[in-house]
A and B are shown apart, each in its own frame.
Chain A
Amino acid sequence: MSGTENQAAPLEIHDLTVAYHKKPVLWGVDLEVPAGQLIGIIGPNGAGKSTLIKACMGLLPMQSGWVKVFGQSLKEVPTRVGYVPQRESVDWDFPVNVMDVVLMGRYGRLGLFRRPSKVDRNVARDCLDRVKMLPYANRQISNLSGGQQQRVFLARALAQQADLYFMDEPFAGVDAATEAAIVTVLRELRNQGKTLIVVHHDLPTAKQYFDSLLLLNMNVVAFGPTAEVFTAEQLQRTYGGRLTILSEVASVLGAGNGGVNL
């Protein structure tokens, strides 16, 4: 698990502990993420998947440990990191249109007192096109379906033109077409050398989509290439004795090439 010699790893976490109301949610997480991979975070409910992402983004106080992004603190390289929060985390009744939301992805590069320029608008339009939402650019965001909302968030993240992306359940509650479109975009980004860290909740597709998996349950159960980590033994360690999950896992492992739809 080594980065290239002269470049710091996109993400390095050491001894990270996060607690809510004095109850630890993450405990002593150590992690070094290699560049240019599409990485899935999986684990049971309450395992701290979203918490890990939020802590990395500096959105939650840490009880201990540190997070480095490309060898620096996030504050020093904010424009290199993109973020897709959970869809429900914002008010979709907010009085903005799709273009406004995507342009927000450019704000980090603009600095104080500067309005988005024509260049920024062109970038935003291009990003909308990549998620096939360009025809909706002037649409009020409250008139979007769940899948469309998720694509708008993805377009906003693309507009950030970051090198490392954190995405919190981008596939939650979206239609099959959107899921396919998102996967395509994520793979394109990966092929451009970007690093993507994606919280995911569906085991069968996790095996299909991701180069590496982080199995998480309060701490790192396993991290490595999907083929090595996605085993019955590791999943059992992650999910504990939950029979439904285990039978699901068994069927996935038995089905070989994935493709199981639940």
Chain B
Amino acid sequence: MNELIPAFDWHQVMVAPWTEDLELFGWIGLMGLLVTASCGLVGNYLILRRMALMGDAVSHSVLPGLVIAFLWSGSRGTWPMFAGALVAGVTTTLLIDAIHRRTRVKQDAAIGIAFSTLFAIGMLLTSIYSQQVDLDAECVLYGEIAFVPLEPMVTLGGVEIGPVSLVRMAGVLLVVGLLIIAFYKELLVASFDDGLARAMGINPAWVHHGLMAILSIVVVSAFEAVGAILVIAMLILPGATASLITRRLSHMHAIVLVHALLSAWLGVSLEVWLDCSIGAAMVVGGAAVFAVVWAVIAWLNHLHTSQRPPSPTSTNDL
């Protein structure tokens, strides 16, 4: 065994995190699952609407919102943070819209202008108010999921539920899930055919802004765990993997949850084995799942086409 790679100890990597070290890795794994599941569900719609770049944009441009909310309220509480992220996220989408509609600049360039400028403003603010703001670019960019078990516990009726950011993330996942169930058909028709949606009285602009608002909340809740850069992978990888496997939106949502579980588990395992950043390990794990699914599907297709000619008359593919 090369000494650059630590030895793989089955018990230490595969068993211990979920038994004797559960108190530590249980929270981390659960947080990873909640983050990836929330991001993946919202990400499905970003992928469908060909707006993957918007995830990138919003994840960066919430920074000034956070800083302003912090300066305003003087706390890093959940609600000021959500309010700041919401305002910043929706401002980003409006700004991108305005640039792309009122000038000759195309949408991708407009996205590039809007989010990097807002991120820069956030960095300016953090450096100007570095005395007052307990936020640095490092923490926003990278996050640290390993700190989750060290956070103060939320208690409800005397019972400890879990670390603050984990409870918040669970609430966010619950809200995302409920919103998708409640507005499933509006999201579907507005994403597939906005003309029909509008003709039916469903305003696609509202759907778009609603989605961006939820995206801002999800991103800001995931910040502390994985940071602004890795969150993009969490938004896109699960849905991209799901889209390789199925062509039904409802099935995509289910596969995203499985992908989230695998990413979290692989992330923790990799961290224990290699002693690396857990957030990064979760993304690498998620990407590995994507790669394996891709390879298996390519292999199955190869078998399928080499064994018998495609039948043009088959009517049921699913």
**Chains A and B are bound partners:** yes
**Taking beta carbons and an 8 Å cutoff, which residues of A are in contact with B?**
54, 57-59, 74-75, 78, 81, 83, 85, 89-91, 94-97, 100-101, 104, 107-108, 110, 112-113, 115-116, 135-136, 138-140, 142-143, 156
A17 to B249, CA, bound (A): 40
Quick one: given A89-B195, A91-B192, are A113 and B318 in contact (CB under 8 Å)? no
Is A83 a contact of B182 with CB atoms below 8 Å? no
Q: What are the residues of chain A within 8 A of B188 when measuring CB–CB?
A: 96, 100, 104
Given A95-B48, A140-B318: A107 in contact with B200 (beta carbons within 8 A):
yes
B168 to chain A minimum Cβ distance, whole angstroms, is 26
- Contact: B315 with A104, CB < 8 Å? no
Chain A interface helix/strand/loop/mixed: mixed
Binds A, one of B19-27, B31-39, B122-130, B240-248: B240-248
B316 lies within 8 A of A138 (CB): yes
B199 in contact with A78 (CB, 8 Å)? yes
- B184, B191, B246: the one within 8 Å of A94 (CB): B191
Alpha-carbon distance between A135 and B316 when the two chains are bound, in angstroms: 8
Q: B9 contacts the other chain (Cβ, under 8 Å)?
A: no
Residue in A81, A95, A115, A136 whose CB lies within 8 Å of B247? A95
Q: Is the CB of B195 within 8 A of A108?
A: no
- Are A139 and B316 in contact, with the CB atoms below 8 A? yes
Q: List 28 A-B contacts (CB under 8 A).
A: A57-B198, A58-B198, A78-B200, A85-B195, A89-B195, A94-B48, A94-B192, A95-B243, A95-B246, A95-B248, A95-B252, A96-B248, A96-B249, A97-B247, A97-B248, A104-B196, A107-B185, A107-B202, A112-B182, A112-B186, A115-B184, A135-B315, A138-B316, A138-B317, A139-B315, A139-B316, A142-B247, A143-B317
Residue of A nearest to B49 (CB): A91
**Cα separation A156 to B192 with both chains bound (whole Å):** 13
Chain A, residue nearest B248 (CB)? A95
Select one of A59, A95, A138 contacting B195, CB under 8 A.
A59
Task: Encode B49-80 as 1/0 by CB contact (under 8 A) with A.
Answer: 01000000000000000000000000000000
